[in-house]
Structure 1
Amino acid sequence: MKGVVISMIVVLAMIQFMVKPGQAISCGQVDASLAPCVPYLTGGGNPAPACCDGVKNIKGMAATTADRRAACNCVKDAANRYSNLKDDAAQALPAKCGVQMNIPISKSTNCDVIN
């Protein structure tokens, strides 16, 4: 099972590098960036450095309002796939990584109001 998860992460990371500049942010990019955060988001503690790198990556990719809204919807979809996601850990993730971000990590965010 671990091998399958690692393979999926590698594939998602490869997809991230295949997207041409100027294209909208994709859920594959967001999922690949947040994959290292799953242990923190479901178990608490402190996020791994790779997780914080992913959060910073998302912030860098989400340069426009449309990108931030797309990333928000991807994050929301990803959050809803994990029934054991700790909402308080998710909301604290950007701050724990030292990143100020306008994209909340939550199952219930209204992404249409993101600027």
Structure 2
Amino acid sequence: MKGSGIISMLVVVAMVQFTVKPGEAITCGVVDSDLAACVSYLTGKDGDFPPPPCCAGVNKLKESALSIADKKAACECVKKAAAGIRDLNDEAASSLPAKCKVQVDFPISKNFNCDE
């Protein structure tokens, strides 16, 4: 119980620290914090639908990545993060934007070519 409180606090601190300000490039820290609530869904531990905080993060990611450069950077960060998730369910990852009813310009995948 105590450990989960510490983790929650670290996630909140990370979210505040990595918030994108207008005119700033998106970073992997921002992407990681946006999608942190999705990990349990992406590993099959959270049922068939992503939790609302996960979908809020997917939507925030979409809103943060507006320019072509930001979309490419976000794609690379998502790819890197996905590769680092042990037991990632590829089907859950690829269906995440649709299940959250958010259209992003690249798939949530560890195998996507972000240069396309």
What TM-score comes out, normalization by structure 2 length? 0.89
Q: Does 1:14 align with 2:19?
A: no
Indicate if the aligned counterparts of 1:76 and 1:106 stay in contact, CA closer than 8 A. yes
Q: CA deviation at 1:4?
A: 4.3
2:95 to 92, 97, 101: 92
How many Å apart are 1:103 and its aligned residue? 2.0
Q: Which residue of the other structure, out of 71, 74, 79, is the alignment partner of 2:74?
A: 71
Letter in 2 for 1:34: L
Distance in 2 separating the partners of 1:20 and 1:62:
12
> CA RMSD, aligned part only?
1.3
Which piece of structure 1 moves more, 88-97 or 1-10?
A: 1-10
Kindly tell me the number of residue pairs found equivalent between the two proteins: 112
Contact 1:12 1:31 in 2 (8 A): no
Residue 29 of structure 1 aligns with which residue?
30
Inter-partner Cα distance in structure 2 for 1:72 and 1:32: 14
Which deviations, in whole Å up to 9, do the C-alpha atoms of 1:7-36 show, x marking residues without a partner? 33122201123x431111111111111011
Task: Quote the residue 1:101 is aligned against.
Answer: 104
Provide Cα deviations, 1:43-95, integer angstroms capped at 9, x if missing partner.
Answer: 15210011101001010111011000000011111111112010000000000
2:55 is aligned to 52
Greater helix fraction, Structure 1 or Structure 2: 1
